[in-house]
């Protein structure tokens, strides 16, 4: 299911304490960071093997779509954690910001090419405020 189609944020009530939630959130974000890193490494290897010297817009759009899809999957995993007892509103805002950022990239990857920093700015600020820097893009 696409995040853009989902009716709301938060996978439901959570029985996790704030500390447990933060630990689970960190694990999910670290996994997402690892997946993004593996994707970037694979793209770099592929590019080096081809030795094209220049990428086509189609190639860049395909890879930005892959990157946004990995990011979207991490957001779904965060949403599946549910909401902690505290900071629920901030977590919902964080999930919403991530959903919006990935949706913007997926809607028009070519336009996103030079604009990733502003597209992910709100989500990144919220990740830092939640002390999960590995969830920042």
CA angle 132, 76, 29 (to 5 degrees): 25
**pTM of the entire structure?**
0.80
Mean pLDDT by runs of 10 across the 137 residues of the chain is 33 67 93 93 77 74 94 96 87 96 95 92 95 89
Kindly list the distances between the CA atom of residue 47 and the CA atoms of 54, 55, 64, in Å, as whole numbers in the listed order.
Answer: 9, 8, 14
Res 114: pLDDT: 86
Locate the domains of the chain by residue range. 17-135
What is the per-residue pLDDT for 121? 96
Determine the pLDDT at residue 50.
Answer: 67
Return the pLDDT at 16. 76
């Amino acid at each position: 299911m696409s995040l853009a189609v989902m009716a709301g944020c938060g996978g439901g009530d959570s029985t996790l304490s704030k500390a447990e939630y933060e630990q689970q959130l960190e694990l999910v974000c670290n996994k997402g960071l690892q997946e993004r890193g593996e994707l970037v490494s694979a793209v770099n290897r592929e590019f080096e093997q081809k030795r094209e010297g220049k990428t086509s817009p189609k190639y860049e759009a395909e890879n930005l779509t892959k990157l946004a899809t990995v990011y979207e999957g991490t957001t779904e995993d965060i949403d599946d954690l549910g909401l902690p007892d505290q900071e629920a509103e901030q977590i919902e805002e964080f999930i919403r910001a991530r959903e919006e950022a990935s949706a913007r990239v997926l809607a028009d990857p070519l336009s996103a090419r030079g604009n990733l920093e502003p597209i992910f700015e709100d989500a990144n600020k919220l990740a830092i405020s939640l002390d999960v820097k590995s969830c920042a893009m």
